[in-house]
Amino acid sequence: MANEEPEVKLERFLQWLQVNNVELRGCKIKYCGENKGFGIFSYNQVSDGVLLVVPLDLAITPMRVLQDPLLGPECRAMFEEGEVDDRFLMILFLTVERLRKNSSWKPYFDMLPTTFGNPLWFTDDELLELKGTTLHRATELQKLKLLSLYDEKVKGLVKKLLLLGGDSESEVSFEDFLWANSIFWTRALNIPLPHSYVFPQFQEDQDNCGSVNKGYEVFADQSEELINEQEGKVEGEARQFSGITSTSLQSETLWVEGLVPGIDFCNHDLKAAATWEVDVTGSVTGVPYSMYLLSVGKCSPIEDGEEISISYGNKGNEELLYLYGFVIDDNPDDYLMVHYPLEAIQSIPDSDTKAVLLEAQRAELRCLLPKSLLDHGFFPPHPPNECNNKCKTGPICDFSWSGQRRMPSYSNKLVFPEGFLAALRTIAMKQDEHLKVSSLLEEVQLLQHLVCVCVCVCILRFLHCLKRYSYCTRIFNIILKAKDPTFLDLCVYTHR
């Protein structure tokens, strides 16, 4: 099957889409060659701009995996125990379904690429070309992480799930898991969904009794402890629950990661011809709970035969190569990652002390700089008058590791963030300087400790005056458990 002609795979996939109620209204899917795979092209002008409609029930999401007859029971137990996160569920689903001989997803999987251009798929010689870059280190770490995850959890679990499905012949390999990982990261979308769609049982309970089901509260509380990680991730660090940021659980819209067959064949372009939207009520497409592809060419309609592209976001070439396996010439969003390797700190004098200082400082050891900033070197050009006005007097720095001082006159011209420069100054400290700083930190910590003691004593006295002896006893017991001599001496004195 792997050597089938692209046209045969496409025909079978189109039939699969039709069976699953996908509507190609103003587009068609075409093969673009070995390097690009399949893409979506304009076909038949549509007045409302809706080119493609996919029911969200077809999407591969964490909810689908947890409800799957084969994977659901096993994955639900691990998910509730916090052993796996939502992304792992989808990658596991992709791995298992690709290996299952009678999988209903086969027409879709046959359309997907079998190899990728990102560094995880580079040969050893190709990876050496990246040596010395942050991309090389990130790739090495990610591959080690995936290998460890495969050996410790995925390999045995996939075998078990295949046997449960009655498939004893299929063999799983690391390449299968790597393929599923790459499919997820190259094709997953962050989908806004109503709370009632993500948690239908919870909504039903609310409608029936008007109160939150206790079991749901426990499940949600446990699930909030799951944290998704991604090496070199550009997006912010956010706690996730089924691809949903934990801070949004109380809101109407929840953001869920998932793959949407059909929509995911759109390629990337800086000047996107379309965008995707979610139609919850069906007011736009006539299909409730669907995702649709919408033309954005209001001034000039998309011509028949023109490729329909979307934007993957304002990403630099390093991120595009790491995630998707391609780069863009003259990318306006390109940036340079500047970093100080953690391994290098271990080789400098007084590395242990400086590592403690950097941790206390919450040091930023890396920063992203738009490459355009470095067109003129590390000092961007300024009009002479503007530079003279700014450089006459440097501002007073409120705090630095060396005490209060005037900032150098050139600091306002540096392109590096202040936090990054502060970390470099800490690393470059001489022995006498970092000893003074360490002493200062100890004094600050002692002062903070004494302040806590004084506050605690004041609270005890206040409660004693109010004759709230039970509260006094509770606080005193907490202090006894802490076994802090300073606390104990002061509290005994207060008690007397």
Cα dihedral 256→259→264→267 (10° resolution): 70
**Separation of alpha carbons 237 and 243, rounded Å:** 13
CA within 13 Å, CB half, 444: 8
Give mean pLDDT, residues 424-440: 75
Q: Which residue has the higher pLDDT, 114 or 343?
A: 114
Give the closest residue to 437 by CA, choosing from 344, 366, 350: 350
pLDDT of res. 405: 43
Q: Which residue has the higher pLDDT, 270 or 18?
A: 18
pLDDT of res. 413: 53
Least reliable range by pLDDT among 117-126, 179-188, 331-340: 331-340
pLDDT of res. 35: 80
Cα angle value 445/449/455 (rounded, 5°): 145
* 98 within 8 A of 176, measured Cβ to Cβ: yes
In this structure, what token pair is assigned to residue 354?
Answer: 């400086």
Cβ-proximal residues to 176 (8 Å cutoff; 6+ apart), any chain: 95, 98, 99, 158
> Three-state SS for 99?
helix
Q: What is the DSSP letter of 159?
A: H
- For residue 25, pLDDT over 90 is answered with yes
Which of 3-12, 295-304, 450-459, 468-477 is most confident?
Answer: 3-12
Give the closest residue to 262 by CA, choosing from 29, 7, 9: 29
**Separation of alpha carbons 393 and 409, rounded Å:** 7
Cα 411 to chain centroid distance, Å, stands at 33
| Whole-number Cα distances in Å, 303 to 27, 273, 285, 306 | 11, 11, 22, 6
**Separation of alpha carbons 96 and 176, rounded Å:** 9
Q: How confident is the model at residue 479 (pLDDT cuts 50, 70, 90)?
A: low
State the average pLDDT for the chain.
Answer: 78
- For residue 162, pLDDT over 70 is answered with yes
- For residue 237, pLDDT over 70 is answered with no
CA within 13 Å, CB half, 166: 3
pLDDT of res. 174: 97
pLDDT of res. 180: 97
- For residue 487, pLDDT over 50 is answered with yes
| Whole-number Cα distances in Å, 106 to 1, 15, 310 | 10, 12, 26
Q: Where are the beta strands (DSSP E) in 106-223?
A: 189-194
Q: Is residue 320 classed exposed, middle or buried when 0-12, 13-18 and 19+ CB atoms within 10 A define those classes?
A: buried
- For residue 393, pLDDT over 50 is answered with no
* 133 within 8 A of 227, measured Cβ to Cβ: no
In this structure, what token pair is assigned to residue 241?
Answer: 């629950």
6-295: CATH superfamily = set domain protein methyltransferase, domain 1 (3.90.1410.10)
* Partners of 275 in beta bridges: 294
**Separation of alpha carbons 360 and 363, rounded Å:** 8
Percent helix, percent strand, percent coil in the chain, to nearest 5: 50, 15, 40
Q: Is residue 271 classed exposed, middle or buried when 0-12, 13-18 and 19+ CB atoms within 10 A define those classes?
A: exposed
Q: How confident is the model at residue 121 (pLDDT cuts 50, 70, 90)?
A: very high
**Separation of alpha carbons 236 and 230, rounded Å:** 10
Q: How confident is the model at residue 195 (pLDDT cuts 50, 70, 90)?
A: confident
Q: How confident is the model at residue 134 (pLDDT cuts 50, 70, 90)?
A: confident
Q: Is residue 436 classed exposed, middle or buried when 0-12, 13-18 and 19+ CB atoms within 10 A define those classes?
A: middle
Least reliable range by pLDDT among 10-19, 220-229, 251-260, 436-445: 220-229
Task: Report percent pLDDT > 70 for the chain.
Answer: 72
Could you report the per-residue pLDDT of 238-269, keeping only the tens digit for each? 323 333 333 344 458 899 999 999 999 999 99
- For residue 481, pLDDT over 90 is answered with no
Give mean pLDDT, residues 344-350: 79
pLDDT of res. 397: 38
* 279 within 8 A of 288, measured Cβ to Cβ: yes
User: What pTM value is reported for the model?
Assistant: 0.69
* 223 within 8 A of 80, measured Cβ to Cβ: yes
Q: Which residue has the higher pLDDT, 223 or 294?
A: 294
Could you report the per-residue pLDDT of 28-63, keeping only the tens digit for each? 999 988 888 899 999 988 889 999 999 999 999 999
- For residue 321, pLDDT over 70 is answered with yes
Give the closest residue to 43 by CA, choosing from 55, 27, 23: 27
Least reliable range by pLDDT among 8-22, 398-412, 438-452, 476-490: 398-412
| Whole-number Cα distances in Å, 247 to 117, 224, 239 | 35, 9, 8
Q: How confident is the model at residue 214 (pLDDT cuts 50, 70, 90)?
A: very low
Cα angle value 151/325/29 (rounded, 5°): 105
Give mean pLDDT, residues 378-385: 53
Q: How confident is the model at residue 285 (pLDDT cuts 50, 70, 90)?
A: very high
Task: Report percent pLDDT > 90 for the chain.
Answer: 41
pLDDT of res. 351: 80
- For residue 70, pLDDT over 80 is answered with yes
Residue with tokens 């409800």: 67
- For residue 99, pLDDT over 70 is answered with yes
- For residue 428, pLDDT over 90 is answered with no
pLDDT of res. 478: 64
* Partners of 338 in beta bridges: 367
Amino acid in the structure at residue 380: P
Residue with tokens 């990658």: 91
> Three-state SS for 38?
strand
